[in-house]
Amino acid sequence: MAKRVGQKIKMTSIDELLCVPSVAGCDEIEVAKIRPFKDHPFKVLDDDKMHELVESIMLNGVLVPVTVRPLEDGDYEMISGHRRLFAVKEIGLDRIPAIVKEYDDDEAVLAMVDSNLQREEILPSEKAFAYKMRYDAMKRSVGRPKKYSQVGSISQTDEVLAKMIGESRNQLHRYLRLTEVIPAILDLVDQKIVALVTAVEISYLPEKVQNWLFEYMKENGACKAYQIYPLRDYLKENDDISKMETIRILNENLPKDESNRFQRIELTKPKLLEYFPPFYTKPQIENVIFSLLEHWKKENEKENT
């Protein structure tokens, strides 16, 4: 954890830090007995906001108790409060104020997702997996099929969930599709390098093709959705695709912007003098340059035939 230079912190005593807030049903739970929620979709980052939380707890203690559920082996599973637990561990406390609630698996998922969706900043990947967990839990609770698509499903569960989270039904299904995108590309979505709509199209590609696509984007920059459409069309008509074919399709569908192709090209005198004797005239230099370009053109045509 980064240290703040020149900042004085009045340390709260250990007794005060361990003081249980006056909340009904709140107890002190051993930190070592609390497990993170299984497949927790929200990231706990050691960033500036975490540093602020650590300092706040050092000054004031844990003001809001975490919520956990008891497990059969005597340990607890975190429902709400992963960031507070991380901060308490950073400080070195061995106990944390907690409210213990009895939840079954699906109730626990619903409670965990709902509590975390109240955060101010949520990454697309976090929304995707949180919505997926809540969606599946809701589907199980009504005993209906789990199938869904980007444009909607025959079930009303997606409509209910969309209203609850404040998203359109179609937008919900776009987020659900993100759970089929490989982590490397999903990180690019979180960084706003790859657009969500493009990631949705990528989600329909096989994992190996997504890996090739990620390698391609590292070299050539982010792809657009209209580059992915031809890949999907190819796979609809063919059982498989090679890496070379994938690259060919991506290259053939690059954005066509000819506006700056032949903008003014400047060859400065100092640069030219690195290749030509000082006594060469302007016509002589031009003749050499165009002669070399003609040779390059012929060689390039041979390679492409």
What are the average pLDDT values for consecutive 10-residue runs of the chain, which has 305 residues? 42 48 72 91 86 91 92 92 92 93 90 83 91 89 51 67 89 95 96 94 96 94 93 93 94 72 67 83 85 81 55
8 Å CB contact between 21 and 64: yes
What is the torsion angle, in degrees rounded to the nearest 10, for the CA atoms of residue 270, residue 261, residue 213 and residue 234? -150
Domains of the chain: 1-103 (3.90.1530.10), 193-252 (no CATH)
Where does 34-117 show beta strands of DSSP type E? 34-35, 66-70, 76-80, 95-100
pTM for the predicted model, two decimal places? 0.66
Give how far Cα 251 sits from Cα of 193, 205, 226, Å. 19, 17, 12
Amino acid making up residue 123: L
